[in-house]
């Protein structure tokens, strides 16, 4: 008899570490059975949830979740039932039992336990956020980010995102490419949450040329051509002007210096002059 490898989707409106730990503990009870666990953190809307459940159906997965947002929890159960998916609610029954015992209503606030050590856990959350929403992997991250960094390739968006994450700032970054329309999310969030990054063309040319060398590619590729770079920078600046965001020229600046400027824009809510 061939045993199918079980697939577990761990869905959370926070980090999802608790549900993943419980899932791994349960899977460990079945010796010799390989289990694939996919953790999906920061699920905060029904559209995103529906997309994940569609993928879970394809994988014939068991859905394990820690959702404290009641509406989202109810939506998951309803959709999972329609899709014939098995679900395991890690937090719901215990929250309900405590509510009955105390006569109090739960707050239904995601990540509330993190307040026990807010600074540490916020950093962990921010790092995971930066990884998940790096390089425009999912433009919806802009809706939940503390700051969104935009710019052409190799303008230090990723290093800056990670630096900010270690400061507890949830940073998403989205590349601007002339051949690809910028995501609509950039035009719907508060303008002071978007920061444009740019570099001098000659500096960007040098950085991209070195990047191609590390990849074993010729420096003559269009990606590193000065003509292409000037065109990209002009396109990016036009997008930034349309958004109305502040623009930082990171040429010659250390990551720490650029990060300080980003934080100033965020907290003061400054606008472009």
141 marked as binding residue: no
3-class SS letters over 162-201: HHHHCCCCCEEEEECECCECCCHHHHCCCHHHEEEEECCH
User: Which band of pLDDT confidence, cut at 50, 70 and 90, is reported for residue 2?
Assistant: very low
214 marked as binding residue: no
| Whether the model pTM is above 0.85 | no
Task: Tell me the pLDDT tens digit for each residue of 25-63.
Answer: 998 898 878 899 999 988 889 999 999 999 999 999 999
User: What single DSSP character describes residue 40?
Assistant: E
User: Which band of pLDDT confidence, cut at 50, 70 and 90, is reported for residue 272?
Assistant: very low
Same domain, 95 and 172: no
Domain CATH number, residue 100: 3.40.50
Helix runs in the chain, H state only: 17-27, 46-59, 70-82, 92-102, 118-132, 141-144, 157-165, 201-214, 226-243, 255-268
CA distance 50 to 164: 31
136 marked as binding residue: no
Residues 6+ apart with CB under 8 A from 195: 147, 148, 149, 150, 245, 246, 247, 248, 262, 265
Same domain, 188 and 67: no
Tell whether the model's pLDDT for residue 184 goes beyond 50: yes
Same domain, 173 and 140: yes
Task: Tell me the pLDDT tens digit for each residue of 93-135.
Answer: 888 899 899 998 877 766 555 554 567 778 889 999 999 999 9
Same domain, 215 and 190: yes
Classify residue 1: in a domain, yes or no.
no
Same domain, 124 and 247: yes
Same domain, 105 and 147: no
Question: Into how many domains does the chain fold?
Answer: 2
Last residue of a domain, one of 87, 110, 133: 110
106-118 per-residue burial string, b: 16 or more CB within 10 A, e: under 16: eeeebbeebeeee
193 marked as binding residue: no
CA distance 123 to 129: 10
Q: How many CB atoms lie within 10 A of CB 265?
A: 20
Measured over the CA atoms of residue 28, residue 128, residue 69 and residue 87, the dihedral's sign is negative
Classify residue 2: in a domain, yes or no.
no
CA distance 193 to 38: 30
111 marked as binding residue: no
Same domain, 154 and 96: no
Last residue of a domain, one of 110, 138, 165: 110
153 marked as binding residue: yes
Instruction: Report which of residues 64 and 1 the model is more confident about.
Output: 64
Contact 251, 201 (CB under 8 A): no
Task: Tell me the pLDDT tens digit for each residue of 203-219.
Answer: 999 999 988 888 877 66
Same domain, 104 and 131: no
Tell me what pLDDT residue 219 has.
60
Mean pLDDT computed over 246-269: 91
Same domain, 139 and 57: no
CA distance 207 to 191: 29
Same domain, 234 and 157: yes
Range of the domain at 48: 7-110
CA distance 13 to 16: 7
Classify residue 172: in a domain, yes or no.
yes
Same domain, 163 and 243: yes
87 marked as binding residue: no
151 marked as binding residue: yes
């Amino acid at each position: 008899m061939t045993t199918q490898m079980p697939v577990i989707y761990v869905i959370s409106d926070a980090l999802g570490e608790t549900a993943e730990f419980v899932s791994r503990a349960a899977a460990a009870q079945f010796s010799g059975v390989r289990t694939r666990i996919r953790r999906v953190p920061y699920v905060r809307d029904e559209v995103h949830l529906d997309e994940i459940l569609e993928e879970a159906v394809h994988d014939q997965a068991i859905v394990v979740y820690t959702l404290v947002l009641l509406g989202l929890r109810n939506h998951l159960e309803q959709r999972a039932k329609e899709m014939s998916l098995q679900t395991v609610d890690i937090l719901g029954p215990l929250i309900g039992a405590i509510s009955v015992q105390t006569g109090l209503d739960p707050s239904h606030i995601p990540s509330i336990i993190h307040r026990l050590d807010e600074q540490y856990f916020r950093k962990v959350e921010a790092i995971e956020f930066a990884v998940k929403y790096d390089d425009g992997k999912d433009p919806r991250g802009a809706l939940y980010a503390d700051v969104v960094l935009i710019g052409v390739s190799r303008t230090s968006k990723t290093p800056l995102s990670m630096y900010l994450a270690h400061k507890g700032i949830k940073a998403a970054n989205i590349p601007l490419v002339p051949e690809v329309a910028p995501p609509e999310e950039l035009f719907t969030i508060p303008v002071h949450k978007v920061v444009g990054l740019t570099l001098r063309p000659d500096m960007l040319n040098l950085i991209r040329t070195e990047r191609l060398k590390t990849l074993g590619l010729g420096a003559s590729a269009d990606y590193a051509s000065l003509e292409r770079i000037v065109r990209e920078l002009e396109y990016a600046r036009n997008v930034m002007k349309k958004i109305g965001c502040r623009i930082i020229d990171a040429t010659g600046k250390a990551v720490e210096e650029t990060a300080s400027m980003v934080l100033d824009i965020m907290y003061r809510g400054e606008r472009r002059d």
